[in-house]
Chains A and B, each alone.
Chain A
Amino acid sequence: MSTATGKIISITSAFMCFLHYLGFYSNGYSHGALQEQIMEVTKEIEQDSTDALLYLKRGELYRYHRDWDLALSDFDLASRLDANLDIVVLGRGKTLFEAGWYERAKPVLDHFLLKSPNHIEGLLTRARVLRHLGQNLAAAVDYTQALAGSHEPRPEHYIERAQAIITEGREYWPAAISGLDEGLEKLGQIVTLQLLAIDLEVKLKQYDGAIARIAQVESQSPRKEKWLLRRGQILTAAGRLGKAQACYGEALSRIETLTSRKRNLQSTLRLEGEIRAALAEVVRRRSMETKNG
């Protein structure tokens, strides 16, 4: 890079920083430590305006500070200084995504993933972009690839993938459930994944599947009464009123065995009230059924 280009970059950078200092780019997300870091990197850039990594670093800080234009400007400068610094493209893609400019983000991330097809953060970011663009199945493919390559996948990513698939319509819900089961196998019995799976099973009227899942969550919860209530509700929805009544009865028996202190906790009182109301409703429905023959 020529000295003249370096000077131009340095002046541009100082000007941007000055504007920032004056508050022209204020976005309501004040962050003292970030501003300090930005100022520090700016000083470093003043010392060496040819270091692409410094612009990359400041671009990331601007992105975190939600100063989208400043972030993009720094990523552009970093690219000009080092065309081989591919990670800059990801930074640009993430910035465009976070700014809500999804149409612009997608080709940038496509470009990045062409060179780094298994980059987990790149895949996750593009998956999120695709969801915003309504391309849910394509998003699911990216999520799947990211999850497969991730050493320690997170529950959030399984949930995001399931939500992308669910959006595509009821016929895809079994696939969403399978995806959640994959997560449960990998991460263990996590309530966040099970709750979504239970919800889907109930909506699909797969009551036995839902009840089996409740049993799994119940086994690891110290407050089994809550899950007995949920199981009773599913049995009620399935029309198995006798079993639902037994379930509510068991929940109430469990509450009665609690110590007086635990029994008088607000959460227990509330739960007991809900169980009694559900039980009364089941009893009413059963007696109506008997009356109607």
Chain B
Amino acid sequence: MVDHRRFTTLALVFLALFTQVAFAQRVTRGPYLQVGTDHSIIVRWQTDKVTDSRVSYGTLKSSLSLTANDSEQTKEHIVRVGGLSPDTRYFYSVGSSSTVLAGGDDAHFFLTSPTPGTSKPTRIWILGDSGTADNKARAVRDAYYQFTGNRHTDLWLMLGDNAYSKGSVSEYQKAVFEDMYEAMLIKSSLWPTLGNHDDGTSSSPGPYPYYDIFTLPKSGEAGGMPSGTEAYYAFDYGNIHFICLNSSTRNLRGETSAMWTWLDEDLASNDKDWTIAFWHHPPYTKGSHDSDKESELLDMRERAVPRLEASGVDLVLGGHSHSYERSFLLDSHYGKSGSLSDSHILDGGDGRDGGDGAYEKQTLGPAAHEGAVYLVNGSSGKTSGGSLDHPVMVTSMNELGSLVLDIDDNRLDATFLDDRGDVRDTFTVIKGSTTPRDPATQLVLVSGDGQSGPVGSTLPQPFVVEVRDQNNRPVGSVAVTFRITRGDATLSSSTSVTGANGRASTVLTFGSETGEHTVTASVSGLAGSPVTFHSDALQENDPPPAPPVNVRIQVAGE
């Protein structure tokens, strides 16, 4: 009898243990954080068995009293935690309605973003082409962990080729989630972009694992204009606006792509202090890839860069070449490397406080053509050499490493850290703190007056005016209004903002009316305003017009 009872007890214990082992859930990926904003975050993880989802969270580790739940039975858990306070640390755990699977300790926390538009010292870690899943990538990772110590990483970017060589689920597992970046994934939002190895230039059609593994903002939920797609998106962190473009998908790079329409609108809505754009294929490189030859790089330089510079981008980040390359403060260089001229380099120094001095940009906020720094940071997993001699670059090196950005109010400090933890490059950009400009005092006609042409034609030269200060120095960023005051014609623009050379212009196209036409350019409160341009519309069979006469008015002291 006793033996029978003992047997039954043993059997029950065995059954209980067996049941626990057989039915225990296990986290097979994550947890990892996505789309962190000032009021919400997405927590993701994967389990080996289907279950419902629960995130427990709270500002005290000992009291995770709040929960976000999803009753759907799944292995891929995607839980949005909302109703959060800005710039606040929350501890969390993940699991199901019946079990906690991970978290609830010091390591599992997230820090919400500051209120959009407000400034807060921000640290950003940037990896490019890190997907080798080997000890080189781990050395780069450990060097950064050592460098940052207890300083929290507010967010991190991956610049594409995040998992070699095809971006498959198993490759992502090894290159990102297993024995790789777990410590960072559980506490900082990751914002990736797609590389050529993530979409596999392979024969496999259909969506790539990249889009299943990551949750990215497509409805403007993290700031910026909604893109409607995870292929390209924008988000804000405090006073920084980030733009992620897709350079890998050919259809999206096409001249008439919706990506460009979206980018134009997103940039037009941006009023943050800093604008940082990133995508995989860099516009300037002479590393293991050549931006003079490869279509992805040419497309992005010719289509993305002019838009971004016209809207005041500060920093453009790319990978693809497995090297580190960093440019001068650059503007309007859209051709091949051989076409670079002095006018494209707004500051040819090294950008270092202890060297030639920080790069300075006059305006805090988006201002056209005040210069941007271009970086290739594609050596977080391997190096592949190249001539490394692109003329826009201050420095180019075939070294493993990652990039660290520290942004505080109007100052950006960038550090390239190699795999041994040595700082190999630094530069600083300061915005809005340069010598204050004198106010504009006068408006001057520069050229374009006295032209004539047939009705219906466009005059060959623009009407150009210049805004100057009391010392006759040009004044930029002043809106000049052009208006037709006599005749039937149209203007290419009725308002033009002066550039760094103080000049603004418009072009006139005659309508069907012959005779004298007049256009005024005005800026209220300035001496010389309004300036009047005269032109003559001729019958089509009239004698050819005389060459245009350029008038330049001498101003006292000029």
* A interface residues with partner B (beta carbon < 8 Å): 28-34, 37, 53, 56-57, 59-61, 64, 66, 87, 90-91, 119-121, 151-152, 154-156, 159, 183, 187-193, 195, 220-223, 226, 261-262, 264-267, 269-270, 272-274, 276-278, 280
Which listed residue, B252, B259, B312, B364, touches A266 by the CB 8 Å rule? B312
Q: Which of A189, A222, A270, A280 contacts B226 (CB 8 A)?
A: A189
The reply to whether A280 and B483 form a contact with Cβ atoms under 8 Å apart is: yes
A223 to B363, CA, bound (A): 18
- Contact pick for B495, options A33, A53, A270, CB 8 Å: A270
Selected A-B contacts with CB under 8 Å, 23 pairs: A30-B293, A32-B289, A33-B288, A60-B201, A121-B206, A151-B207, A152-B229, A155-B229, A156-B258, A187-B218, A188-B226, A192-B228, A195-B261, A195-B265, A220-B220, A221-B269, A223-B268, A223-B269, A266-B312, A269-B478, A270-B495, A277-B482, A278-B494
In the bound complex, CA of A189 to CA of B497 (Å): 31
Q: Tell whether B479 is near chain A: CB-to-CB under 8 Å.
A: yes
In the bound complex, do residue B483 and residue A191 qualify as a contact, i.e. CB atoms below 8 Å apart? no
Interface of B is mostly: loop
- Say yes or no: A272 contacts B261, CB within 8 Å: no
Q: How far is the CB of B412 from chain A (nearest CB, A)?
A: 17
Chain B residue at minimal CB-CB distance from A183: B228
Asked if B37 lies at the interface with its beta carbon under 8 angstroms from chain A, I say no
Q: Which residues of B contact A270 (CB under 8 A)?
A: 479, 495-497
Q: Known contacts being A87-B205, A266-B367, A267-B268, is A154 close to B262, with CB within 8 Å?
A: no
User: A-B pairs with the 9 shortest C-beta distances?
Assistant: A273-B495, A273-B479, A190-B228, A187-B228, A277-B494, A155-B228, A269-B479, A192-B258, A30-B293
Q: Is B36 part of the contact surface with A, judged by Cβ < 8 Å? A: no
A121 touches B205 (CB 8 A): yes
Q: Main secondary structure on chain A at its contact with chain B?
A: helix
With A151-B207, A267-B366 in contact, do A191 and B261 touch (Cβ < 8 Å)?
Answer: yes
Residues of A close to B494: CB separation below 8 A: 273-274, 277-278
Docked Cα-Cα span, A279 to B482, in Å, equals 13
Chain B contact patch, size range: 35 or more
| Minimum CB–CB distance for B312 against chain A, Å | 7
Contact B196 A222 (CB under 8 A): no
Per-residue A-contact encoding for B263-276, CB less than 8 Å = 1, 0 else:
00100110100000
Q: What is the bound-complex CA distance between A226 and B293, given in angstroms? A: 39
CB-defined contacts of B289 to chain A, threshold 8 Å: 31-33
Contact of B269 among A29, A53, A222, A266 (CB under 8 A): A222
B226, A191: Cβ atoms under 8 Å?
A: yes
Complex Cα–Cα for A266 and B499 (A): 9
Instruction: Establish whether residues B262 and A191, one from each chain, have CB atoms under 8 Å apart when the complex forms.
Output: yes
Asked if B228 contacts A277 (CB within 8 A), the reply is no
